[in-house]
Amino acid sequence: MKFVYDFTEGNKDLKDLLGGKGANLAEMTNLGLPVPPGFTITTEACKVYLASGEEPPALRDEVSAHLAALEQKMGKKLGQPDNPLLVSVRSGAKFSMPGMMDTVLNIGLSDESVQGLAQQAGDERFAWDSYRRLIQMFGKTVLGVDGDLFEEALDKAKAAKKVTVDTDLEAADLKKLVTTFKKIVKKEAGREFPQDPREQMDLAIKAVFDSWNGERAKLYRRQERIPHDLGTAVNVCSMVFGNLGPDSGTGVAFTRDPASGHQGVYGDYLQNAQGEDVVAGIRNTVPLAELEKIDKKSYDQLMQIMETLENHYKDLCDIEFTIERGQLWMLQTRVGKRTAGAAFRIATQLVDQGLIDETEALQRVTGAQLAQLMFPRFDEQAKVEQVARGIAASPGAAVGKAVFDSYTAVKWSRSGEKVILVRRETNPDDLDGMIAAEGILTSRGGKTSHAAVVARGMGKTCVCGAEELEVDTKRRRMTVPGGHVVEEGDVISIDGSTGKVYLGEVPVVPSPVVEYFEGRMHPGADDADELVEAVHRMMAFADRKRRLRVRANADNAEDALRARRFGAQGIGLCRTEHMFLGDRRELVERLILADTEEEREASLKALLPLQKQDFVELFEAMDGLPVTIRLLDPPLHEFLPDITELSVRVALAEARQEPHENELRLLQAVHRLHEQNPMLGLRGVRLGLVVPGLFTMQVRAIAEAAAERKAAKGDPRAEIMIPLVGTVQELEIVREEADQVIAEVQAATGTQLKLAIGTMIELPRAALTAGQIAEAAEFFSFGTNDLTQTVWGFSRDDVEASFFTAYLEKGIFGVSPFETIDKDGVGSLVKAAAQAGRATRPDLKLGVCGEHGGDPESVHFFHEVGLDYVSCSPFRIPVARLEAGRAAC
């Protein structure tokens, strides 16, 4: 196996092997851009090292050979006393990762070669500055010395000279600093700073390998779901010097604005500086445009290179460069990060420039970015007082009074206050408070902390791990940096998309993207900004491309209309239980308690017109589009009063010797219907089979509503869906009754009705016998929420708040299976059931309803297994449309 690649040997598609940095250095080299020569040690070498604890023997030889070739090319040897070749050792994994080893520059310098460098460059100051940087970086990153010790020594040296910037230190000062730095290394690392250049290089390479398994890197990978076995590459790159005086310098540049996407000159430049000086902010950088005045030739060349890179990568690139005495060198490039808004704009801009086509454009944006653009946000014009920044754990903009415990959160929110729950960290006891709050703020914990996981599950704004905040729950207050104290009841604002925390109320503005979907803002109109225009066009690309249809989960006309505006192509799930609440609960109660046939008939008769009217409205809102109505699903006792409350009422009445016959009857019924495990109890089709007349009443309401809409020249397209079926026999019985009712309604109204009858697939048994079930079902809708619960054997409400945090931290899940479909388990059942169903009935319509229908990764999966549609909440529809389009690319 080949472990080392010269920059001339690689290319940008070899990121797995050469890491992002190495692959792009090779690409630039081969484009003929000025890249300092060097080579890349592969991730494979790293993997062997990590597995065996030793560098593969062949690696040393290969490095020697490549180093020799590099020395030959450069006409000098690594660390050669009179004319040293210096190199940087740079980590570079496939994905850039915090926690990986920092780059070490100027490797090859020693007490001897520093003199040679001074002579060659004709600049003693420069040579000693480079040497002190090497000892500092090497000491910190390779030998593990506390970096502050070097910084303090540097500050002392500046103070002694009464200067403020490092460039004002002279050769003699730097020489002294080198001695100090070496002492620090000796004391802290227990060894001398190595003088042998090859030893420096080898130690640095090993340190890069080792940093792959550093705690911070591991944590980051877990959070970002990056596999642990990729390994990192190491780049050895000959040094160029930006610290050789005013005609040298270093900078960063973007080929277009990463915030707006606009083309132009974006970046920063710092004269007489090396490496990280630009980003470290030790001296003030100048805007890149100023480089034109400082060094016109290099500036023009850079502009040209930027154009070359954009045309080549066909995307926004960011760049690191250095100018050494008027000669421009490229040190890094990659496809640059951008804001969600810029991603949409850049994608359409590149289409307009003819650089990419629609299909490619769809690859440049994500549903997650679109979702981010749909959250209301804080008014950018508002004057704000930011006091801290934590981790953006769950997006949104929330404003409310700070409360420091769950009890107060619930109490205050009941009295109509908006509250933000502030905790050091949350635990399952905080659940009620989290539900009651507008948003959640914690000072501890990362993206997988309890607060973050639960908030995301609830779609609630959350900022976590804002470590600058001192939360004192006992005294119900928190102290922000600077000492200001936020007391219980003080208003704060948190931004779950950026992690920022503000004092006071920051005004919230609606998202222009939602305004557009709502039809309140039109692309092309004067007030429509570029973002709306870009989103509009990308949605059109996606709609043209996608095969999956997108429907909405909606129970009433209002939601249905909104869903239509957002692009829904029907309703995939109308839950009828919501129609039985409020005033109607009493009717349901009577139905459940009915002792006689007449009593039951009477309640059903009362419910029928109400239910029918619901459907008439829904069919009208969704005229011409399919509406899938799920018959009653939840356990019946959900419609009955709380058992404890009722017991108290009965006991009180008894004590007061008041009449309480009805209460007693009710209590007995509640007892009778009480279940240990209602999720697995009397619900779904089981209800339909044991409560006579319930399902047939619902079917009649649907059929009569459809007939009424037809009479009104409407186009109702109802589909009747039976929940929680486990075996085809259940479905057959319900179906037979339903068909009869439909026939009756047809006869009575003289209308021909086409009502499809199908089932949810949400139990493992249903999935496993899908071939049989399809005999009686015209469609399947996978209820992936329940299917996930029943396949895993856990109840969502209980487990998310209790042990999911631990599971995520231990890496058992990368993400909650309720958020993204568990492809291997639940997903494979979906796939098999879809195939079995279609084998029985080739025109079987297949859809999915449940949270996963709006989750980007899951949408791709449903596309792949050949479903016809996904159904999700109205607000997620644009995301599902976009991702369905992306999935089809």
Catalytic residues: 450, 849
DSSP state of 85: B
Phi, psi of 154 (to 5 degrees): -65, -45
Residue 237 in the binding site for ligand ADP (CB under 6 A): yes
Please report whether residue 276 would count as binding ligand ADP according to CB under 6 A.
Answer: yes
Do residues 716 and 757 lie in contact, with contact meaning Cβ atoms separated by under 8 Å?
Answer: no
> Is 325 annotated among the ligand-binding residues?
no
Exposed, middle or buried: residue 184 (CB in 10 Å: 0-12, 13-18, 19+)?
buried
Per-residue buried b or exposed e for 262-293, using 16+ beta carbons within 10 Å of the residue's own CB: ebebbbbbbbbbbbbbbeeebeebbebeebee
Give the burial string for 522-533 (b: 16+ CB within 10 Å, else e): ebeeeebebbbb
Length reported for the chain: 889
Residue 630 known to bind ligand: yes
Nearest distance in Å: CB 105, ligand ADP: 6
CA–CA separation, 207 and 234 (whole Å): 10
The closest of 386, 404, 400, 339 to 499, measured between CA atoms, is: 386
User: Minimum distance between the CB of residue 106 and ligand ADP, rounded to whole angstroms?
Assistant: 9
User: Which range touches ligand ADP (CB under 6 A), out of 232-240, 333-341, 417-425, 860-868?
Assistant: 232-240
Q: Nearest CA to 332 among 450, 431, 240? A: 240
Angle between the 661-673 and 585-593 helix axes, to the nearest 10 degrees? 80
Q: Was 786 annotated as part of a binding site?
A: yes
State the SS3 of 144-179. Answer: CCCHHHHHHHHHHHHHHHCCCCHHHCCHHHHHHHHH
Structural contact between residues 465 and 392, judged by C-beta atoms closer than 8 angstroms: no
Residue 103 interface partner, choices ligand ADP, Mg ion, none, CB cut-off 5-8 Å depending on type: ligand ADP
| Closer CB to ligand ADP, 4 or 846, in the complex | 4
Q: Is residue 850 marked as binding?
A: no
Residue 396 interaction partner, one of ligand ADP, Mg ion, none, beta carbon < 5-8 Å per kind:
none
Please state whether beta strands 327-335 and 4-6 pair in parallel, antiparallel, or not at all (unpaired).
unpaired
Q: Among 24, 40, 103, 628, which residue interacts with ligand ADP (rule: CB under 6 A)?
A: 103
Shortest reach from residue 38's CB to ligand ADP, in Å: 7
Classify 706 as helix, strand or coil: helix
Should residue 331 be labelled a site residue for ligand ADP when binding is judged by CB under 6 A?
Answer: yes
Count of residues that interact with ligand ADP, criterion CB under 6 A: 15
- The first and second tokens of residue 507, run together, are 């005004």
Q: Give the x/- contact pattern for ligand ADP in 53-92, rule: CB under 6 A.
A: -----------------------------------x-x--
Binding segment (CB under 6 A) for ligand ADP, from list 51-59, 238-246, 297-305, 637-645: 238-246
Q: Does 319 bind ligand ADP (CB under 6 A)?
A: no
Has 784 been labeled as part of a binding site?
Answer: yes
Closest to ligand ADP by CB, 332 or 442: 332
- Name the residues that contact Mg ion, by CB under 5 A: 320, 332, 762, 783, 786
Cβ at position 851, least distance to Mg ion in Å: 11
The binder of 783, among Mg ion, ligand ADP, none, by C-beta within 5 to 8 A per type, is: Mg ion
Residue 12 interacting with ligand ADP (CB under 6 A): no
Could you tell me the smallest distance in angstroms from the CB atom of residue 132 to ligand ADP?
A: 16
Of 295 and 786, nearer to Mg ion (C-beta) is: 786
Query: How far is the C-alpha of 358 from the C-alpha of 370, rounded, in Å?
Result: 17
Compute the least distance from the CB of residue 37 to ligand ADP, in Å: 10
- 446, containing H or E segment: none
Amino acid sitting at position 419: V
Tell me which stretch binds ligand ADP (CB under 6 A): 165-173, 237-245, 362-370, 522-530.
237-245
What does the alpha-carbon distance between residue 870 and residue 863 come to, in Å, rounded to a whole number? 9
* Distance (Å, whole) CA 488 – CA 691: 51
In terms of CB distance, is 88 or 372 closer to ligand ADP? 88
- Least Cβ distance, residue 336 to ligand ADP (angstroms): 12
For residue 572, what is the DSSP state? Answer: E
Q: Is 272 in the site for ligand ADP (CB under 6 A)?
A: no
Radius of gyration in angstroms for the set of CA atoms belonging to the chain, rounded to a whole number:
33
Residue closer to ligand ADP (CB basis): 100 or 403 = 100
Q: Which amino acid is at 66?
A: H
* Binding flag, residue 295, ligand ADP (CB under 6 A): no
Exactly one of 19, 79, 84, 275 binds ligand ADP (CB under 6 A); that residue is 275
Residue 239 touches ligand ADP, criterion: CB under 6 A: yes
> Given the rule CB under 6 A, which residues bind ligand ADP?
36, 88, 90, 103, 105, 237-240, 275-276, 320, 322, 331-332
Residues of the binding site for substrate:
575, 630, 762, 783-786
